[in-house]
Amino acid sequence: MKTPTNLFKQAITSKQAQIGLWVNLANPISTEICAGAGFDWLLLDGEHSPNTLTTLLAQLQAVAAYPGTHAIGRVPLGHGEAGTALIKQFLDLGFQTLLVPMVDTAEQAAALVRAIRYPQDDGQGGIRGMAGARASRWGRYPNYAKEANAQVCLLVQAETQLALDNLDAIATVDGVDGVFIGPADLSASMGHVGNPAHPEVQAAIADAITRINKAGKAAGILTPDEATARKYLALGATFVAVGLDTHLLVRATSALAAAFKTAVASAPVSKTY
């Protein structure tokens, strides 16, 4: 059995737009419902959601029944020894693509590349620890240790002014496949907390997408606003999350209650989360 090809990595490398959904509910049933909707990818969030390795495993198993949808894991931390350990565990679970938050420098990005890669015979590999785990189907992919480096996809988040200052260097790091712009944290870093729609933030995002593409990497972003998502796609963003499961549930339940109860207001329109 050959290690499966990472079709998401293949798609963003060839600049085929990939439409995704943020998944925060930490439940395999709701995740499976989302997987059946037809999105190209689902982000299973380990940073801001109450996920554990066990809940993430159950969700990976649920998504596996829908081969047209790719599961991406966001680690809560990617830097330092703790981050390296978490990256190893997420990869061992079977995630082929990881999203790492708060990457501010090229040096941090290069360290993450080493963390996702196994050592290789030519000495050009990384420091990922060897193990017989779900990623290799417990050894049923006999060449996994030699094939995995080519299939693992690394997406780093640029979500501060410092990251934008270093964006060109981050995007040119060999082994970084895509750079994800985090509008909410970026707006806070730029002095516009909770207002990613501010003209200064939007100008910075447009410039960042252009620079990421110029470096030959894929640009990604999240927005629950349809018009804004289409604008980012037109600007050249390749992987775009167009909603969040929690946001969809808030809007739908509030609207249903408001339809029957005059004292209940519809949920406010969110531009972030």
Closest by CA to 9, choosing from 172, 239, 164, is 239
Q: What b/e sequence results for 50-86 when a residue is b if at least 16 CB atoms lie within 10 Å of its CB, and e otherwise?
A: ebeeebbbbbbbbbeebeebbbbbbbbbbbeeebbeb
Give the Å distances, CA to CA, from 177 to 69, 171, 180, 197, 263: 19, 8, 10, 27, 49
What radius of gyration do the chain's Cα atoms show?
Answer: 19
CA distance 159 to 163: 6
For residue 186, give the H/E element and its range: helix 183-189
Q: 31 by DSSP, 3-state: which?
A: helix
Q: Which of 6, 180, 11 is nearest to 96 (CA)?
A: 6
Tokens coding 95: 């995630």
Q: Which residue among 48, 70, 79, 192 is the active-site one?
A: 48
Could you confirm whether 48 is annotated as catalytic? Answer: yes
Residue 197: burial class (beta carbons within 10 Å; 0-12, 13-18, 19+): middle
Catalytic residue ranges: 48
